[in-house]
Chains A and B, each alone.
Chain A
């Protein structure tokens, strides 16, 4: 019924088949139009491009390396696994790519304040960082549940000079943080740009965020040719909103022989209802300004998501992923908390890389994928973030006792001297 009618609009800008679009209060339409114009003018302006490229090189540290993961690969049926090392970017994840682009656009539009939502805190930290760098005011909205489990990132944002607002409504996670950021933006749009952190939300956000992350796919494509002399058989990434995945996929989307694989959070198991598996258990609907796959009940009320990973704990997904899913161009599977944490440990111990728990979902997927594609296959995983922020969660999961007396111990040492 409605989907058929919606399909008629598939050729409108900002749509991916029936997905995407703009479902927002009228008060935001002019700001989205302004943003759209600034984005298109910016990416066509040599001065803007060179400013962004300079920052990527000199501040973020791009290009990020492509690292062959030999020991981890042994656990993937011997497949040739490569990690695209977005964890080595300044601030520790891919998020900075998008944030620098949007913060420069904010300046271009004459806005003096940027706001953001954050789940794991990586996007919030990246936004606070860009704000500090460019001298912008910054407010970050974060679910109260997430401020608890990602306390380290809360501290980082505050040190960087951002105001962190703990959101205690709804499920107190990423979805609720986006609601509050949108409410702020409706009231502050004259002075404020909303740096949305993923490839969802109203047009032009999905297209723009993908654009600023497409550097991941471009670099990966060049790098894999340099070492393997050919395209990979598959590229893989974890998918929350889906920005790191979209950045990597964008480099290979036109290469029909390169499989695109996304891994969403299966939480405690899709059958338990406590998960964030939008493709496994969601249906098309509208959330946060776009039509996409949504975890919802029969009346269209959003159902709370669940994942051990704050960054994947979101009941919607980017609309382009929804379209890639429906057309079969990309394949999405879910990975449970426990499978992700096994991969987290394996990556740490075989490669000396502690990944973000979000990324660990992709790592678990690659273990399956290696077995599926075999030892001669070449697979790139987007190692989207580092796991420092997740050390407390991981320690709890693995039953590692954290010493709370580090300072006490050092005092004892000095006294004994």
Chain B
């Protein structure tokens, strides 16, 4: 059966819901630290129990990212990462039976050509794209291009978003809504932001789409806390840190710990 990207994301959230748990979503940049190693790292995430993987497209000016991810993407770019590397990693994730989406700042997609990017990503088995610096006002051409390939355009909401904006964002988002839990850049934090539950509640009032919470989650306890009220828990910087410290084994171990947190939360 030929699943579209939007359907794939929908079914993995539905599966988790039937198990009364949240989804675990992990991020790593493609080509970090090298292309070969990044394939092994995402496979370790899959093996450790990550349900959906955000494959990062390394970009020279990552405004939303803190120092951990900045250094990782610099390393990836230094080792020659390109959009082709992203497609390679996306394929590896899809081959493991895990749903891959891409996380990319806007300019690399625009330079690749938005229709070409949507087409090649769909061919590689990608299910959607998270675009952290694309506002919905500027996003219309991309929403059309993604729609043409049944890819999910995934937009972010923030604690500062008005209810009116949240509603408009939810109207054009597919797959799931990415709720940025805190006002700030990516990176582990000691405590999960207390802004997150309120934001998730406001998004719930606007949409039936699943809601995943990201920014600042680094351990099983934090994951469990979010998994009580959100449909998905997103972990990024902590996976980069685990890869730096413990390689493939470190990433697999963190995935297991986080998956444990998500599974026992409710």
Contact = CB atoms under 8 A, between A and B. Distances in A.
B106 A286 contact: yes
Interface in B77-95: 77, 82-83
Contacts of B169: 26
A25 B111 contact: no
Contacts of A23: 106, 133-135, 138
A300 B108 contact: yes
Given A2-B114, A299-B82, A26 B183 contact: no
Given A5-B141, A189-B160, A286-B107, A170 B64 contact: no
Contact of B158 (A22, A27, A182, A288): A27
A188 to B, nearest CB: 8
Contacts of A29: 135, 158, 160-161, 165
B180 interface: yes
A404 interface: no
Given A288-B61, A302-B60, A26 B158 contact: yes
A2 B135 contact: no
Contacts of A179: 61-63
Residue among A175, A182, A287, A301 having the largest count of chain B Cβ atoms under 10 Å:
A301
Contacts of A183: 63, 66, 185
Contacts, number: 124
Interface residues of B, number: 46
B155 interface: yes
A9 interface: yes
A25 B134 CA distance: 7
B107 A296 contact: yes
B56 interface: no
A186 interface: yes
Contacts of B61: 170, 175, 179, 287-288, 302
A1 B115 CA distance: 8
Given A22-B135, A29-B165, A299 B160 contact: no
Interface string B154-172: 0111111110010001000
Contact of B138 (A22, A182, A287, A301): A22
Nearest to A32: B135
A296 B62 CA distance: 15
B113 interface: yes
Interface string A264-287: 000000000000000000000111
B107 A25 contact: no
Given A9-B138, A23-B133, A24-B133, A298 B111 contact: yes
A301 B60 contact: yes
A26 B158 CA distance: 6
A179 B105 CA distance: 13
A300 B61 CA distance: 10
A6 interface: yes
Contacts of B135: 22-24, 26, 29
A299 B117 CA distance: 12
B192 to A, nearest CB: 16
Q: Which of B115, B169, B183 has the most CB of A within 10 A?
A: B183
Interface string A1-33: 110011011001000000001111111111100
A1 B82 CA distance: 20
A189 B137 contact: no
Interface in B102-132: 106-116, 132
A285 B110 contact: yes
A296 B60 CA distance: 10
Given A187-B184, A285-B107, A301-B59, A26 B161 contact: yes
Contact of A26 (B60, B180, B184): B180
A32 B157 CA distance: 15
7 contacts: A25-B156, A25-B158, A26-B161, A170-B60, A179-B61, A300-B59, A302-B60
Query: Which 9 A/B pairs are nearest by Cβ-Cβ distance?
Result: A300-B111, A187-B184, A27-B158, A5-B141, A300-B108, A300-B107, A286-B107, A30-B160, A301-B60
Interface of B: 59-64, 66, 70, 74, 77, 82-83, 106-116, 132-135, 137-138, 140-141, 144, 155-162, 165, 169, 180, 183-185
Given A25-B133, A31-B160, 6 more contacts: A1-B115, A23-B133, A29-B160, A288-B63, A299-B112, A301-B108
